[in-house]
């Protein structure tokens, strides 16, 4: 059976979960990775209009179509049209991140008395010296095993990957299952389930960028954001946590719904933010208890009326404001729309997760996973209008 036949067969036959319903998920080729692995695209349409297009290459959210207040659909997530672009242009665009998301100081941590050295893949601008998102060959670079499913009004995709011990220097074979479900009410649910055969550390997340006006519509500075957090984590020049501080009185105060760019003058005036290009690349400490479902974000586009709520069981959320797009070596970065480029602040990444550098901070919620335990986490992206 050739590759295309296999893909079509998978779309028609594989993916029954908890019943005998056909998965009803469109499957098509997406190209080949630089390691010669074939990637596919899976299109999942919900009963109320939400449509997502996902690749098994890194579990990427390639497209996400949501209705505006008049029912008009637009693709509200940043991304590209080919595997090659994802590999060459970076930015962790739309991908699963693991086994450990965010930064680990000097790429080093100690667990049960043994020190592990990870690749150092972020060194500029100085003095950054850390492991970022597990290294240069993390989950984003892998083609995952994908199984479409349908059960009642829920359609989705189950993604699995075995992250072998020693990959990027981490101990233990980690078996990862990530389930994407499109639910009634225009909800995209992401469920993580991880086990390991040896003690290790895990911190999976999803790195989608959002622009509720449409992926090539310009910047998001006038779109509104509320973050349900009273503290953010201040960092050193290497973007490694120093301490949690109140958001009150700072440009990090999103405790009320306000334009993302409203405090730009304050951000530009802060010398201590220069290593972050005087913009957002920070951890917010969410209200509520780790493991309990709680609202993390409301994002609102006044022009289209689209609303995105993010709910999660995670204790934190990293906000990255795409300040490095369309500058320097990233100039003229393409969008998915022919003839249009992405601009600076073209979207915003809102990554639900644990604290950065948690293995080196015993005061943070633990990210240690031991044999016999299961790491579970849920994040929901709920699309509405007003």
Which residues are tagged catalytic? Answer: 207, 351
Cα angle value 115/117/123 (rounded, 5°): 135
Residues 358, 363, 367, 368, Cα dihedral to 10° = 120
Q: Are 242 and 234 in contact (CB under 8 A)?
A: yes
Q: Report residue 148 CA to chain centroid gap.
A: 21
Kindly report the number of other CB atoms within 10 A of residue 340's CB atom: 13
Q: Are 72 and 217 in contact (CB under 8 A)?
A: no
Q: Are 91 and 168 in contact (CB under 8 A)?
A: no
Two structure tokens written together for 23: 């998965």
Beta pairing class for 73-75 and 174-183 = unpaired
Q: Which of 208, 214, 186, 187 is nearest to 76 (CA)?
A: 214
Omega into 99 within 30° of 0, i.e. cis? yes
Cα angle value 132/95/175 (rounded, 5°): 80
Task: List the alpha helices (DSSP H) in 53-151.
Answer: 83-89
Alpha-carbon distances, residue 239 vs 220, 235, 282 (angstroms): 23, 5, 8
Cross-strand bridge partners of residue 231: 246, 285
Residues 218, 221, 226, 228, Cα dihedral to 10° = 100
Cross-strand bridge partners of residue 189: 181, 380
């Amino acid at each position: 059976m050739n590759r295309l036949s296999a893909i079509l067969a998978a779309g028609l036959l594989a993916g029954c979960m908890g019943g005998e319903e056909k998965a009803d998920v469109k499957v098509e080729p997406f190209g080949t990775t630089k390691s010669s692995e074939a990637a596919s695209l899976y299109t999942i349409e919900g009963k109320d209009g939400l449509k997502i297009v996902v690749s098994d290459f890194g579990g990427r959210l390639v497209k996400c179509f949501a209705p505006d207040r008049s029912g008009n659909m637009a693709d509200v997530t940043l991304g590209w049209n080919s595997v090659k672009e994802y590999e060459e242009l970076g930015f962790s665009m739309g991908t699963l991140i693991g086994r450990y998301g965010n930064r680990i100081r000097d790429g080093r941590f100690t667990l049960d008395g043994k020190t592990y050295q990870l690749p150092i893949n972020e060194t500029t601008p100085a003095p950054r010296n850390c492991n970022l998102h597990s290294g240069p060959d993390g989950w984003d670079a892998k083609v995952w095993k994908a199984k479409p499913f349908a059960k009642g009004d829920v359609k989705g995709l189950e993604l699995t990957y075995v992250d072998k011990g020693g990959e990027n220097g981490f101990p233990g074979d980690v078996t990862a299952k990530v389930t994407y479900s499109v639910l009634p009410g225009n909800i995209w649910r992401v469920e993580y389930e991880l086990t390991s055969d040896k003690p290790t550390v895990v911190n999976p997340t999803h790195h989608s960028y959002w622009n509720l006006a449409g992926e090539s519509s310009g910047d998001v500075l006038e779109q509104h954001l509320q973050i349900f957090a009273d503290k953010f984590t201040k960092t050193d020049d290497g973007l490694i946590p120093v301490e949690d501080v109140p958001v009150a009185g700072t440009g990090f105060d999103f405790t009320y719904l306000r334009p993302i760019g409203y405090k730009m003058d304050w951000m530009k005036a802060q010398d201590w933010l220069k290593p972050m290009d005087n913009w957002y690349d920070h951890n917010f400490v969410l209200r509520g208890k780790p493991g309990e479902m709680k609202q993390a974000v409301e994002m609102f586009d006044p022009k289209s009326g689209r609303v995105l709520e993010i709910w999660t069981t995670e204790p934190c959320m990293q906000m990255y404001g795409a300040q490095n797009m369309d500058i320097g070596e990233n100039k003229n970065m393409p969008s998915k729309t022919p003839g249009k480029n992405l601009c600076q602040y073209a979207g915003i990444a809102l990554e639900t997760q644990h604290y950065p550098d948690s293995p080196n901070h015993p005061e943070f919620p633990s990210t240690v996973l031991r044999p016999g335990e299961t790491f579970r986490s849920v994040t929901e992206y709920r699309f509405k209008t007003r």
